[in-house]
């Protein structure tokens, strides 16, 4: 799969997994992300290996991340989206979302899904809406899977 790389001033976005700083991603997800607190490093590594990932960097420092679980044909789940707190308010989350939503590999999908507790307005800017009929959705959710 062809790797994407976009530059904007001192920042860049890349889909090259070899550039991802798994330790930095794990640190954020396991200590700051309400959805994955205490996630083991190995789980993060495996999730990255099996997803289409977007890294956001300042020079070579990992400052943001998003991953998509997809079949590249019909459906995509957007998850683990973050920008480090000290880089928020600079338009980087919007740039990351624009890059994801315009990615040639992710065009023509029948459905996108995500879960968010606090970024609804960001996603609405890119066409996301609340579920039209939540009665059709089911889940099997173990919110304490990473707690021992």
CATH number at residue 114: 3.40.630.30
Q: 24 vs 21, 68, 81, 117, CA distance in Å?
A: 5, 18, 13, 22
Whether 124 is covered by a domain: the verdict is yes
Does some domain include residue 109?
yes
CA atoms 17, 35, 64, 53: torsion sign: positive
> What predicted TM-score, i.e. pTM, was given to this entire model?
0.93
The Cα 106–Cα 5 span in angstroms is 16
Please list the pLDDT of the chain residue by residue as tens digits (148 residues).
678 887 888 999 999 999 999 999 999 999 999 999 999 999 999 999 999 999 999 999 999 999 999 999 999 999 999 999 999 999 999 999 999 999 999 999 999 999 999 899 999 999 999 988 889 889 888 888 898 6
Which stretches within 5-131 are classed as H helix? 22-31, 41-49, 92-101, 120-124
144 belongs to a structural domain:
no
Host domain of residue 73: 5-136
Residue 147 in any domain: the answer is no
Number of domains into which the chain is organized: 1
In a domain, 148, yes or no: no
């Amino acid at each position: 799969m062809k790797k994407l790389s976009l530059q904007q001033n001192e920042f860049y976005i890349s889909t090259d997994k070899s550039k991802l700083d798994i330790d930095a991603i794990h640190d954020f997800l396991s200590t700051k992300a309400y959805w994955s607190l205490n996630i083991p490093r190995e789980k993060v590594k495996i999730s990255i290996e099996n997803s289409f990932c977007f890294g956001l960097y300042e020079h070579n420092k990992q400052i943001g991340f998003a991953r998509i679980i997809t079949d590249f044909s019909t459906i995509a789940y957007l998850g683990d989206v973050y920008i480090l707190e000290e880089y928020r308010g600079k338009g980087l989350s919007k740039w990351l979302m624009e890059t994801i939503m315009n990615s040639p590999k992710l065009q023509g999908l029948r459905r996108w899904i995500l879960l968010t507790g606090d970024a609804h307005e960001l996603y609405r800017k890119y066409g996301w809406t609340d579920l039209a009929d939540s009665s059709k959705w089911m889940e099997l959710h173990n919110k304490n899977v990473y707690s021992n």
